[in-house]
Amino acid sequence: MFFLILKRALAAIPVLLIVASLTFVMVRVVPGGPFDLDKALPPEVVANIKAKYFLDRPMPEQYVRYIGRLVRGDLGVSYKYSNRTVNDILGDALPVSCQLGFAGLALSMLVGIPLGLVAALHRNSPLDAICMIIATAGVSVPSFVTGAVLIFVFGIWLKWLPVALWESAGHMVLPAVTLAAVPAAYLARLTRASVLEVLERDWVRTARCKGLSYQRTVIAHVLRNALIPVITVLGPLTAILITGSFVVEYIYAVPGMGRFFITAVSNRDYDLIIGTTLVFGVLLVITNTIVDILYTVLDPRMKVEG
């Protein structure tokens, strides 16, 4: 297990370097700069600002300088939040996004997997149809629509929950439900398809013929094998929920990475864009490693490969 983690960590270094390099080039090739949206400034002022951030240097020199900082763990400075570094911004925003992302992930699993299991065990029944209608609606309705409906019902009409900011456990409920709606529906459909596939295998019928109870067959054998495809998607899904909850964080004014990433893109805040992208890459590597470890828990016959 230790060697798996070590191999993944070493393999992640060139991957993250490629991600940083591509993002570095792309943000500079796209038309527009970090100071184009500011009020008209004298040319000498603009020149001084660019010189301060070394933006007046050739791109190869800027790249070498940035990679040198990156190796030391310095993600650079923000051009729009001049009194804060990218490390400071992500250090404050990432824990909030992690709380929201893990809450959304837990809720999506608690709802999606049982919903898909119930639908599969009652295949072609009215209960199956109801579960799939719910799942289809969850996939089809955008997050901003779900968020608006929840805000109106539970925040404005019933006045049960706060609708903005991030100050208590109650502030987490609506954003977490909104974030979990789409992945829960996706997990429900995936779980249903996987369970139906496992139920058709010969060893399931053999277990039933040998007298094993239906409940034990489903819980101890069918569900355990059916969860392998579900676990596979949980790796990238976790990274997406943590760093990709831009719309949800914007709707509920959650001070997470989403708000900073949106403003960074619109303001061409180069270092902040690259820093957020690198955080996503690191989370993706970590979650995929955890998924590989979980494979051996669900099926000991599977050997974890580096």
What kind and span of H or E run contains 164?
A: none
The predicted-structure confidence for 42-71, as pLDDT tens digits, reads as follows 777 777 877 887 888 888 888 999 888 888
Q: In this predicted structure, what is the pLDDT of residue 239?
A: 77
* CA–CA separation, 269 and 261 (whole Å): 9
Which tens digits make up the pLDDT trace of 239-287? Answer: 778 766 778 888 888 888 877 887 788 788 888 888 888 888 888 888 8
Residue 196, both tokens: 């139906």
| Distance separating alpha carbons of residues 164 and 151, to the nearest angstrom | 9
The whole-angstrom separation of Cα 30 and Cα 124 is: 51
Q: Are 105 and 230 in contact (CB under 8 A)?
A: no
By CB atoms closer than 10 A (0-12, 13-18, 19+), residue 86 is buried
Q: Burial-class residue 35 by CB neighbours within 10 Å (0-12, 13-18, 19+).
A: middle
Q: Give me the residue label for tokens 């990274």.
A: 239
CA contacts within 13 A on the Cβ side of 153: 8
- The residue written with tokens 């240097």 in the block is 57
Say whether pLDDT at 157 is over 80: yes
Phi, psi of 197 (to 5 degrees): -65, -45
Distances (CA, A) of 256 to 33, 116, 265, 275: 24, 31, 15, 14
Each residue's pLDDT tens digit, 63-91: 999 888 888 888 888 888 777 888 998 88
Res 305: pLDDT: 46
Fold of 96-255: MetI-like fold (1.10.3720)
**Residue 306, pLDDT above cutoff 50:** no
- In this prediction, residues 130-155 reach a mean pLDDT of 87
Domain boundaries along the sequence of the chain: 96-255
Q: Which residue has the tokens 């709380």?
A: 99
245-to-27, 127, 171, 177, 186 alpha-carbon distances in Å: 21, 31, 15, 12, 16
212 has a pLDDT exceeding 70: no
Q: If DSSP codes are grouped into helix, strand and coil, which group holds residue 82?
A: coil
Structure tokens at 63: 């790249």
Tokens describing residue 158:
């019933």
Q: What per-residue confidence (pLDDT) applies to 48?
A: 82
